Chains A and B, each alone.
Chain A
């Protein structure tokens, strides 16, 4: 009899205990696709980067607006010749195993990027790193204004120099090992393709962080399943929601997170001799013929960022020239400009101009809207959607995207804006798809490339944006949004434009 009641009592105690634990612990549950590559130097997609940002820290990181923020380094300075960067390391930071962070760890981390041929090297360039006391010194081979963005790149985590191979997944009792970082969370459980659990690092250096006791990754591949999980309260945060699914999440209890990326379509005209856009009036006519605001409403229900005429978007913080005037939709003005340029009946009136469209994202749908509104502005086109594989195939002489007269090309987000300008908009750019050549822009881009001061560089980018608005060969109708969603029990979460860089350290979760 006593035995029987003892069993029941134990069961009740276990249940009560579990309630007590769940009542005490605050857990942030993230629904996301499974991680595959956990190498901090090469794991590149959102889940992989987010996984590592919980465990590791950067020297410098980027906030939600794309601005540099100190992390394990408290400050840095650059020598006058732009070749030497010196960082001061934060004092008293410890790894999860209790060992103290030293400059040797930083030196090891950046040399590790080299051994792994990490993509961070694209921004860091060639460098040598050394450390002494609390200072870490990088000596560059050539001046590189993007170097500091390489320090804050997705891959530039600070690792423990005692660990030769970080983030090792195994089998049996040692499912995971060597996940020893300074980050706000400690990996405490991992089940491949199922879940990962991170517990708060009690010794974390940032005051007030971490804001939750646990972060749990629940690996869900299917987007509909992610949405259902959020709606039913099984997870608290999901991201990269397809635009057409956004209306499903406009319900009570869920908060949408919308950020502008720099992923954008470029509507470009060939502007060299004999090209469709050789005459600047034709280029201007296209700008007046394109209703950017209405496209945003039609394609994104208004949640995208309306673009202008240059590729530098709001993702780049200070470098984004938001106040450069944009041509307002004015079909009559476009018709007049075309008439002045020698097309009294409009462009393509006798034989429609072939409008090549990279069949990516919602660009074909955009093309259908453009065809109609351009027709009102005396520009007549026929759409030719091309599979990306065909559109980008070939070399400089044969590739459609580098040679046709009128096209839409997809440009993804880059770590810094300089890359777009150097690759596509200077006279000798390797991807100068519009064949545009403007000596003033060439000079300004070169100047920006050697200006380390952020404010001075922003001023140069503004001049470039003004030239693009006046006579540039492209239209950027919008910068695509990226959408995430949180349950209303979550506070303090601001999704990053690259969701993998979302800072979860100060996020709190209510009941």
Chain B
């Protein structure tokens, strides 16, 4: 990266942070989201225990004739100095599981949202700029996809994709896991049409502007016009849309985890943790509270951030 670019990037970041600092809610949301992303990246390193380490209860042990003694799990222990968020039904430290689980709960939505935004931007730019039959056909396809209820489509896809991937294992499936690949595919299929529609609408408004006409008369290629002339103008809408899609993706991954269709046990995906904690809610509510709190604060923060971004871009335009 050349020094001028680096300087420009730094100045943009400075300007962004200065404007964010004038919006306390957005600043708070940004701090929370950044904190969660850091937890996603490094949570496993700072967690006091591994996510599947079973803590044992010294008061419930079995002594055997061969001289060995094994103890039962310290199940549903309340929060304490040793276990900040208590332990779950299998005696696992809930705090450690939330730290480890951030990787799955945030990582998958990030990956899937990036892919959906990339595909949606490409399609939206092309449809908005080219128009004609290309736009007509793809618009109807987008309409069809948007008319299908998201959760139902996700359930159908997961129940068909996962077994198909498992029946025909390959190195990619073995590396990433059939469920993870299917989840990303589901989110991409669900959110690409939404991003496409937003970017297409922005492109339709921009393509009639004078500088686009000038570029066309200058003989610039279509890719050049799309990515160098139109794309910078749709970035504000794209940023807001990407933030929103990210929050919905987190929610969807957690929801599917709660339905037992997401990450498989013993992986500590937060939605799955809520599912597992449901059975002991009356006797050990803290096992449910903390993953719920984690999901809620993350989603609310991402939404607040999206709102703040939108306000900032609107102020800039006006």
A positions within 8 Å CB-CB of B: 224, 242, 244-245, 247-248, 291, 293-294, 297-298, 328-330, 351, 354, 359, 364-365, 367-369, 371-372, 382-385, 387, 390
Contact = CB atoms under 8 A, between A and B. Distances in A.
Contact of B72 (A298, A359, A364, A383): A298
B280 A371 contact: no
Contacts of B62: 293-294, 297
Contact of B266 (A242, A248, A368): A368
B264 interface: yes
Interface stretch (B18-26, B63-71, B190-198): B63-71
Contacts of B279: 242, 244
B64 A328 contact: yes
A487 B75 CA distance: 28
B64 A329 contact: yes
A351 B174 contact: yes
24 contacts: A224-B282, A242-B279, A244-B279, A244-B283, A247-B283, A248-B283, A294-B62, A328-B65, A328-B66, A329-B68, A330-B66, A365-B89, A367-B265, A368-B265, A368-B266, A369-B73, A369-B90, A371-B266, A372-B52, A382-B264, A384-B166, A384-B264, A385-B264, A390-B163
Nearest to B73: A298
B260 interface: yes
B5 to A, nearest CB: 45
Contacts of B265: 364, 367-368, 383, 385
A242 B60 CA distance: 22
B294 interface: no
A389 to B, nearest CB: 9
B264 A245 contact: no
Contacts of A247: 283
Interface in B276-310: 276, 279-280, 282-283
Contacts of B68: 329
Contacts of A294: 62, 70, 72
B184 to A, nearest CB: 19
Which residue among A242, A367, A372 has the maximum number of chain B CB atoms within 10 Å of its CB? Answer: A372
Interface in B40-93: 52, 54, 60, 62, 64-66, 68, 70, 72-73, 75, 89-91
B61 to A, nearest CB: 9
Ranked 6 nearest A-B pairs via Cβ = A297-B72, A368-B266, A244-B279, A298-B73, A298-B72, A293-B62
Given A244-B280, A351-B174, A387-B260, A291 B70 contact: yes
A371 B266 CA distance: 9
B159 interface: yes
Nearest to A382: B264
A372 B90 CA distance: 11
B239 to A, nearest CB: 38
Contacts of B91: 298
Interface string B158-202: 010001001000000010000000000000000000000000000
B174 to A, nearest CB: 7
Given A383-B266, A387-B260, 6 more contacts: A247-B283, A294-B72, A368-B90, A368-B266, A383-B264, A390-B163
Nearest to A294: B70
Contacts of B159: 387, 390
A358 to B, nearest CB: 12
Interface residues of B, number: 28
Nearest to B91: A298
A503 B265 CA distance: 42
Given A367-B265, A390-B163, A298 B90 contact: yes
Contacts of B73: 298, 369
Contacts of A245: 282
Nearest to A333: B66
Nearest to A369: B90
Nearest to A362: B279
A369 B283 CA distance: 21
Contacts of B163: 390
A384 B54 CA distance: 20
A330 B65 CA distance: 11
A294 B90 CA distance: 12
Contacts of A368: 52, 90, 265-266
B283 A385 contact: no
Interface string B86-116: 0001110000000000000000000000000
Nearest to B279: A244
Contacts of A382: 264
Contacts of A364: 265
Contacts of A385: 260, 264-265
A242 B283 CA distance: 13
B287 to A, nearest CB: 12
A126 B159 CA distance: 43
A291 B260 CA distance: 26
A367 B166 CA distance: 19
Nearest to A367: B265
A346 to B, nearest CB: 18
Contact of A248 (B52, B276, B282): B282
Contacts of A359: 260
Nearest to B281: A244
Contacts of A242: 279
A242 B278 CA distance: 13
A367 B90 CA distance: 11
Contacts of A387: 159, 260
A404 B205 CA distance: 57
A385 B166 CA distance: 13
B59 to A, nearest CB: 11
Interface in B252-280: 260, 264-266, 276, 279-280
A320 B62 CA distance: 25
A238 to B, nearest CB: 16
Contacts of A248: 282-283
Contacts of A369: 54, 73, 90
Which residue among A244, A247, A248, A293 has the maximum number of chain B CB atoms within 10 Å of its CB? Answer: A244
A384 B279 CA distance: 20
A335 to B, nearest CB: 15
A366 B215 CA distance: 66
B283 A329 contact: no
A367 B54 CA distance: 13
A368 B62 CA distance: 20
Contacts of B75: 298
